[in-house]
Chain A
């Protein structure tokens, strides 16, 4: 079960207690999150990330001004869960599609949602050039180190030694090359205003991811350039693990992909972004 399917019933009727403080809603489904079960596998991180985005869309008032771009991969169906307008992109081309949206709709908020095969393999050119142009986009980059939808094949982000259906003996650098730290690669470009990496490993980390996403969205809303948040997520089925095992495994993933803010050029130079 993902968190999206566990709305805590804040509205459940408590026993009347006249002396108690007025009721506060602690937890509910954000407006931007549609009321339906997802197609994601049990334990998948996409649901958590969808919820974080939806919460922020509510908080930042973006629901009616956002045009989101969906990738190809497990999250292609994100348009079924997050209540904004969506455009479906060919595999890897979401940053180009979003560029076309961005430039012709300067007053809208543009969200790009991509997985690691989409962003770091087939769409490498598109993400690098969108970043190089400093496109005012917010990219949510979900890195689970695997091609989930097609059955768990090796991705450019797969860890060394990690087994997959297309690297059955484990990823070996001489044969398959090295994992790509693409967010660090993007962060050196002056057009990138904000780049950070978070993880879903535990609730406190998820809270930090939300902070990062919020910052990335604010960068776009305040006229900054390109912003990207890479989120280390799990794929229990593709990793051949139970959901808890896969969450715990994220600690190992973070050894290859360190957590933290990689660059924040708006903070460094509040007057104007570099480049």
Chain B
């Protein structure tokens, strides 16, 4: 038995935690708090430096790093503010180090400036947002109201940040490693959107980690020894040059959209109505789907894991064969906009959300789901293909278009080295063509 409790035994070391399991076939699980599990996953992923500032509900993450990073001879700094923290990360990342910054919603707002700089500099970093209720100082309860803030770009300028949203602690640990890899492969900040519940909860996890390979950095500012000096910057006062830089960024974003989509589904095979939810809301939705099916309602769950790039194509395919979609969020309705964009009206999209630190209960969501079922019409047997707008629901037999997709679509493994072909091709095209590409 190993010592495991996240709150009561802060002094334990990882050596204790990762005691070799007695039965190698079934590695011993540990009961671990989300914040601490994410911290250790980052350490095991090779994080060189951590910068943070205390804020609830992610303080345990900072405290874990405060103890572990110096133990390993790595860098931990509690900065003077979230501005300080993320700018320290900017500096360390620009020298080629693997860096992690964490905060919660109000602190993430302060970080918007440097995120924009880092996106412009193509400077990789992993940022974890353990979201809490807003706006303003808000509450410390769990929330998903930072979706717009992070998924839609955060700071000023035309940029995107890959955003990953775990729904369990073990998934969060895996996504931390993925986030470092994505960040370095595409030279971009990557955000993990967790929430207070995931940060504070404990679940048994297998302490298994992944350390992404180190990239060859031919751009970092690490002292111009035997080579020409390099500048890591985002400034370019010549509009022609800056536009070209933007086109390169956009080409990179198209590549990320093509390769880094992640989502999971449950009971989508025969679902006639589907809940779309991520993170903690998806946990609630899973219970709702189970209860709905116990009551004879064939519900399914579509869970985006990458919020950007959003699993648009996969969701559109699902939307084409269900009578309605219910989006559940811990917000006033943010991801629902991306759902509507993906669905393009082929099926009705409804929304249920709670705010300010409240989490919808399974009973409430089930009632909403039943209500939505009652006011919508069945999918016609002969149906329509995905992409055909169906604003007016035809009344037809219920048991229609079902897809062969049952298991979650596997996330692209993404282990292939990044190709610059797409980027080169896009940069070479003229502006009109590039815009066509952007808006396609």
Contacts and interface: CB of A to CB of B under 8 A. Distances in A.
B297 interface: no
Interface in B53-76: 75
Contacts of A88: 117, 121, 231-235
Given A86-B229, A90-B113, A90-B117, A64 B91 contact: no
B87 A101 contact: no
A93 B87 contact: yes
Interface stretch (B78-86, B139-147, B351-359): B78-86
A196 interface: no
A69 B91 contact: yes
A84 interface: yes
Given A85-B230, A101-B92, A125-B84, A90 B75 contact: no
Nearest to B120: A88
A89 B90 contact: yes
A137 B99 CA distance: 20
A79 interface: yes
Interface string B122-155: 0000000000000000000000000000000000
B225 interface: yes
Contact of B88 (A63, A79, A100): A100
A267 interface: no
A66 B87 CA distance: 19
Given A90-B117, A96-B84, A129-B84, A84 B224 contact: yes
A83 B83 contact: no
B233 A79 contact: yes
A105 interface: yes
A88 B232 CA distance: 6
Main secondary structure of the interface of A (DSSP, over half): mixed
A176 interface: no
B49 A100 contact: yes
B223 A100 contact: no
Interface string A90-111: 1001001111111111001000
Nearest to A99: B88
A15 B253 CA distance: 64
A274 interface: no
B83 A96 contact: yes
What is the size category of the interface that chain B forms with chain A?
A: 35 or more
B92 A85 contact: no
A100 B221 CA distance: 12
B90 A87 contact: yes
A100 B232 contact: no
Contacts of A65: 223, 225
Given A85-B231, A93-B83, A101 B225 contact: no
A101 B94 contact: yes
Interface string B82-116: 01110111111111010100000000000001100
Nearest to B237: A77
Given A83-B224, A86-B221, A101 B95 contact: yes
A76 interface: yes
Nearest to B84: A96
Contacts of B99: 100, 104
Given A99-B88, A103-B75, A125-B80, A86 B231 contact: yes
A126 interface: yes
A100 B90 contact: yes
A98 B91 CA distance: 6
Contact of B229 (A84, A89, A96): A84
Given A67-B95, A85-B231, A108-B222, A100 B113 contact: no
A108 B94 CA distance: 14
Contacts of B226: 64
Contacts of A86: 221, 229-233
Contacts of B81: 125
B75 A63 contact: no
Contacts of B84: 93, 96, 99, 125-126, 129
B184 interface: no
B42 to A, nearest CB: 15
B174 interface: no
A97 B159 CA distance: 21
Given A66-B223, A96-B79, A126-B83, A85 B229 contact: yes
Given A64-B223, A84-B224, A103 B233 contact: no
Given A85-B229, A126-B80, A96 B222 contact: no
B77 interface: yes
Contacts of A69: 91
Contact of B87 (A89, A102, A108): A89
Interface of A: 63-67, 69-70, 76, 79, 83-90, 93, 96-105, 108, 125-126, 128-129
Interface of B: 48-49, 51, 75, 77, 79-81, 83-85, 87-95, 97, 99, 113-114, 117, 121, 221-226, 229-235
23 contacts: A67-B221, A76-B235, A84-B229, A85-B229, A85-B230, A86-B221, A87-B231, A87-B233, A88-B117, A93-B90, A96-B88, A96-B91, A97-B90, A100-B51, A100-B77, A100-B95, A103-B77, A104-B95, A105-B223, A108-B222, A125-B80, A125-B83, A126-B83
